[in-house]
Structure 1
Amino acid sequence: MKKMTGLIIAFSAILIMTMMLVSASDVTYKIRSSVYDNSDVSTPTGDFYWDANSFSGFWFPIKPGLSSEVLYFHNSVNSSSTIQLGDKIAEGNLYYVSKPQMKKTKIGACDDGGAYVVDGIDLKKYYLMGFFGSQHVVMPEESSDLSAGCKPDRIAKILLETDDDVKKQMFSGEEWELAGGWSLIVQQVDVEGSKVWVQLNKDGEGIDSSIVSGDMDLAKQERTYLYKDADDYPVFYCYVDSIFRGMDTDFVVFKYAFLRGDIITIEDGDSYGAFDVEGFEVPAVMGGIDYAGSGSGTVLHTGDDVLLMSNNDDITLNPNKIIDLYGGLYLKTEDTSAPCLKMTLWKTCTITVPGAVQEDENEDAGEEVIVVDLAEGGNEAQTSSSTMDESAVSYDVDNADGDVVQSSVVAPGFELFISLVGLFGASRVRG
């Protein structure tokens, strides 16, 4: 009896630990820039800026090497010298700039044509930019003509974008929980197995439905389901890769799913923490700045379309000071003696990680969990932070073609549960 009781206690403890490991927890980490140190002879005089090369908290997809964000100090106090401890960054002299960058979409990259037009909307490319570190899609001037330009006054966060090697298999009647309350339902496959009836839901309510063909003889654009808003901006789209119709079951395989959030409208004079929106063009003081990235278009030219903000109050760079900016960004100065100034740019990020163990809330809340230090430069840490920040974790099963097929039926932790049940039963028989 004592042996049985001990086994039950041990089994219960392991089961509780297993449940804790498969639960999701919020993990906080911090990213630090390179150090501005005016006592270093290599520190430039006059103006100074951080970009994605010196601060990986800014948006920077390594492929194809694009970036968009700059935090720029205009040194109006010591223009022939470095910025010094105790200097005042006057109102309007600290700039935050983000420039939209055009690149191919995942669905556009799968087609060799010059356009990928669905219902009058060109899905071949899109404009992306960082907004205080987070990737956002920018609404173009003309959704049917991407070359018309892109003023970054209407942006939206990308909620979901599957990689080109990811396939989503769905059975009739199955619902795919996307993100932000959106979901896609496969209502029915036609008797010939060439078309599928899909429904797009938001917060459980039907928003749109359509019949999409999966005929292999059709162009990829004709096999793409698109839902757009009243202004003809894409909200959600996906591509029907294949349809299977059987005697007892049928399913559809989707690829290249994309979903964005609500549009954020930005206007002159809007405030974002320590910044006010000053306009949508590169100011003359920043003309010619090469702001990182290995791709083309990484130089700011006066008059370029950008989001331009500047500080709405004076900022004094006193020692041992933390200066909040916006969106988890803050400046930090070291406790040094004038005129020596050492300062860094930081970003606090929170991500949800399945399987992470929640820290004790009674522990020191100010203690850092992870610090990504860019004192030596480089962007190696950027991939993991942006991937975890923007992608939902799924459980993948490889198919015969080597592509990844997402499945909603895998439940991690239950294999261990079944094994423990078997172990417990075997022990009982032996007892």
Structure 2
Amino acid sequence: TWLIDKDDILIIKNGDEYQGFEVIETSKDGIVLENSKSITLNLDKDKKNYFTDSWYFQTSDKGKGSTSPEGYIIRLAKDLDKPGNYTLRGMPVDTGVTSSDGFYWNAATFGGFNYPVNKHKNFVASEDWWGERLQYVDKDGQDELGVNNPGNHVIGEGELLYSTRQFSNKYDLVSDLGLTASTIPPELGGMFYYKLPWFGKPYVTVENDASQLANIVITQGSSDKKVLKSGDVWDLGKGYSLTVNQVDVEGDKVWFSLSKNGEELESGIVNANGTVENQIFTATADFGDGTDQLYFITYVDSVFMSATDSFAVFKYTWLIDKDDILIIKNGDEYQGFEVIETSKDGIVLENSKCITLNLDKDKKNYFTDSWYFQTSDKGKGSTSPEGYIIYPATDVVVEDKNATVPIANSTEETNITSESNESENVSADHRKAPSSGTAGMEDKESHPEEAAEGSSTKLPGFGIISGIIGVMMCLALRRKS
């Protein structure tokens, strides 16, 4: 069945305007438009520079992520503002023209990977790179993928490598307050901590060791603050909470406690009007393979009195889950991959079973719990009659918070890089228990809410950000009056 709406025809003419663009050329074969007003980019990684109703440019901060101190990174993005199912699609590769070493994706070319835009140059570097990589490596010289055998659709055991390396992050407190190595409070232990992306989600490395991973519970960004009055309880996530016991406005002090599952872990009185060292509160514990490891930071920015209550303002709060440490060892298996190399800097895994690709554009060839290869039909889209197009993909669900029934199963495919992988405060637990029974692992039975999610990532609410690698979708344009 095929049907178009004969009663709603859009006639496009030169001079018409659509979403900030003016039509400058029309023909039977296509349309050309240009922006009708100047676009001034705000060089702030947290700002959206709209140039249509839903498309915008997003940049890194000035001088961040670029090879030039004056440069910046820029990418196209689109708001996913309707509840539904969406596909984050990686860069397509043609087996008809690509050599066997060209089947390779990093954070800039696959939306399933973690991608902090301010670190772009390090994430795409050819040497000493950071972040995640997925690469096909031919092992036997026979039936390899690519131009020498464009119809081959079998990835042998151990021929698909997933590599991930840790990267440094400066504490927001250090950046915003202009602290240096000589002025940081000694409790921090340094200006930086390290993260490791693990199957698309960032974790904090314990002792800066990539083989020891801690879940991120919460990180307050530079512009975030939490205002609490005496008696308030702040739910930080994963069972952790901060309780304000008392606020002394005259003495510029606040007394609060950090607890987990109702049991107090730490308590302190912080002066809100003094040096940074006085205003900061930290907590340490023994976990992983280390002792006295930092797991909690908060900063009391100020205290004040309203007409009826006393308040304290908390900023730069940073918390990892000290009780849920993932220890990664050679031989462990995660999501169909076996760990073949561990070091303090990174982890390398390879597929533990052969992957036979179904050359059908409507089929998904899963190689982890949530990542899959999608291909064109054989001989379609390729420069070779025997070739095909292949790209990695993953699905996300944008949920309607107000919905009382499941959302419709409408799916939109987009070439996008998921910004949510950078901005999420909480590290979702996507790992499977390794076959060797590694300590510190939790299965989905322990978390019913995780088991209910299935393999697709669920993103609550609206306005999910997605960077478009190539604009390859249809917009329903409506002429503006």
| Same-fold status (TM-score > 0.5) | yes
CA contact (8 A) 1:240 1:254 kept: yes
Q: Deviations over 1:176-213 (max 9, x none)?
A: 11112211111012474222111112122222211222
Letter in 2 for 1:317: L
SS in structure 2 at match of 1:222: helix
**Greater fraction helix:** 1
* Deviation at residue 353 of structure 1 after TM alignment: 6.0
Q: Give the structure 1 partner of residue 347 of structure 2.
A: 307
Further displaced range: 259-268 or 313-322? 313-322
Further displaced range: 177-186 or 326-335? 326-335
Identity %: 27
Q: What is the Cα-based RMSD across aligned positions, in Å?
A: 3.0
Residues 18-417 of structure 1 correspond to what in structure 2 (within 5 A)? 28-39=85-96, 41=97, 43-65=98-120, 67=123, 68-76=131-139, 77=142, 78=144, 81=147, 84-110=150-176, 111-114=178-181, 118=185, 120-122=187-189, 124-140=191-207, 150-190=208-248, 192-216=250-274, 218=275, 220-230=276-286, 231-244=291-304, 248-261=308-321, 262-280=324-342, 305-320=345-360, 321-337=363-379, 339-350=386-397, 354-355=401-402, 357=403, 360=406, 364=409, 367-368=410-411, 370-374=412-416, 379=417, 382-384=418-420, 386-387=422-423, 390=426
TM-score w.r.t. the length of structure 2 is: 0.60
SS in structure 2 at match of 1:152: strand
Letter in 1 for 2:134: L
SS in structure 2 at match of 1:263: strand
SS in structure 1 at match of 2:419: helix
* Deviation at residue 87 of structure 1 after TM alignment: 4.0
Letter in 2 for 1:266: I
Q: Deviations over 1:354-382 (max 9, x none)?
A: 44x36547x65xx52x43325xxxx4xx3
- Cα distance in 2 for partners of 1:116, 1:358 equals 53
Letter in 1 for 2:298: C
TM-score w.r.t. the length of structure 1 is: 0.67
Further displaced range: 45-54 or 306-315? 45-54
CA contact (8 A) 1:268 1:277 kept: yes
* Deviation at residue 339 of structure 1 after TM alignment: 3.2
CA change 1:204–1:139 in 2 (3 A) is same
CA change 1:114–1:264 in 2 (3 A) is same
- Cα distance in 1 for partners of 2:301, 2:398 equals 32
CA contact (8 A) 2:168 2:192 kept: yes
SS in structure 1 at match of 2:237: coil
Further displaced range: 178-187 or 190-199? 190-199
- Cα distance in 2 for partners of 1:84, 1:174 equals 63
SS in structure 2 at match of 1:97: strand
CA change 1:184–1:351 in 2 (3 A) is farther
SS in structure 2 at match of 1:268: coil
CA contact (8 A) 1:151 1:305 kept: yes
SS in structure 1 at match of 2:277: helix
- Cα distance in 1 for partners of 2:110, 2:260 equals 37
* Deviation at residue 277 of structure 1 after TM alignment: 0.8
- Cα distance in 2 for partners of 1:339, 1:389 equals 45
CA contact (8 A) 1:47 1:75 kept: no
Q: Deviations over 1:270-302 (max 9, x none)?
A: 111210111125xxxxxxxxxxxxxxxxxxxxx
CA contact (8 A) 1:33 1:373 kept: yes
- Cα distance in 1 for partners of 2:190, 2:213 equals 16
CA contact (8 A) 1:128 1:135 kept: yes
CA change 1:187–1:125 in 2 (3 A) is same
CA contact (8 A) 2:99 2:146 kept: no
Letter in 2 for 1:129: L
SS in structure 1 at match of 2:245: strand
Further displaced range: 77-86 or 230-239? 77-86
CA change 1:122–1:26 in 2 (3 A) is farther
**Greater fraction strand:** 2
* Deviation at residue 108 of structure 1 after TM alignment: 1.9
CA contact (8 A) 1:129 1:135 kept: yes
Q: Deviations over 1:32-60 (max 9, x none)?
A: 11112123x4x344342111121122111
CA contact (8 A) 2:203 2:427 kept: no
* Deviation at residue 306 of structure 1 after TM alignment: 1.3
